[in-house]
Structure 1
Amino acid sequence: MSSHSHSSHSEESHGSFGSYTIGFVLSVILTAAAFGVVLTGALTGTQAIYAIAGLGLVQIIVHVIFFLHMNGSSSQRWNLTAFAYTVLTAVIVIGGTLWVMHNVSMNMMSR
């Protein structure tokens, strides 16, 4: 019975110590880079916001690959589809909220 219960997990990819270490090191580097952008003042204003957002997006990709073990394999198809739907929903909700708040600001605060 125990061999049958483990057979369903045999196809899943679980991370090795090396992959977790690589993911951790990349996460620390990306976090330090974001702090470095702010603390050094090398970039200001919109440039700093874009740099931090870009570093954050790269860090999300690192976490998805190295810690959540999502990839394009056929066994991960449903997980990837669910993740893509979640991202799409978040983009619609956040983008819609920013759009509405911008329009409210432009139409109400200018009076």
Structure 2
Amino acid sequence: MSAATDHTPDAGHGDEHGHGSKKSYLVGFALSAVLTFIPFWLVMARPIGSPGLVALLIILFAVAQILVHTICFLHVNTSGEGGWTLLAYVFTGVLLFITIAGSIWIMYHLNTNMMPGMMTGEVSTTP
């Protein structure tokens, strides 16, 4: 039987270098479930009174979940092709940081520099 007509799972794949094991998938699933449950619990049970702190914790759990998915499911690492993929992730993260930080900075300064009375709904009586 030739390699083209061979229907075994490993046909045409060569080595299984980029694929994960059952253990890595199960660990990734368990971590993803925990990293989803904790922010859900923080919002529903409200054990922390400060909404800002809760939002910060949710963002941190989201970043942790992105890392878990990247490592356990996408198998991004620092070796070979994974290194280039990791570099692309870092570049994307830098762009996201610049975009989000710049947007918050602009919105803050727009809010700070608003003219008095613009947000209260007062209508000017001067022509």
TM-score in terms of structure 2 length: 0.75
What one-letter code is carried by the residue in structure 2 that aligns with 1:47?
A: L
Q: Which has the larger radius of gyration?
A: 2
Deviation at 1:58, TM superposition (A): 0.9
Deviation at 1:75, TM superposition (A): 3.7
Aligned residues: 108
Q: 2:30 aligns with which of 12, 25, 42?
A: 25
Name the counterpart of 1:85: 91
What one-letter code is carried by the residue in structure 1 that aligns with 2:70?
A: V
Moved over 4 A (4+): none
Deviations 1:16-67 (A, max 9, x none): 2221111111101110000011111111322111111111111111111101
Name the counterpart of 1:100: 106
Deviation at 1:109, TM superposition (A): 5.8
Structure with larger RCO (C-alpha < 8 A, sep 6+): 1
Higher helix share: 1
| Structure 1 portions without partners, runs of 5+ | none
Deviations 1:73-111 (A, max 9, x none): 244211111111111111111111111111111111655
* Distance change in 2, residues 1:108/1:15 (3 Å): same
> Is the deviation greater in 50-59 or in 67-76?
67-76
Name the counterpart of 1:6: 13
Tell me, in whole angstroms, the C-alpha distance in 2 between the residues paired with 1:21 and 1:106: 49
CA contact (8 A) 1:19 1:66 kept: yes
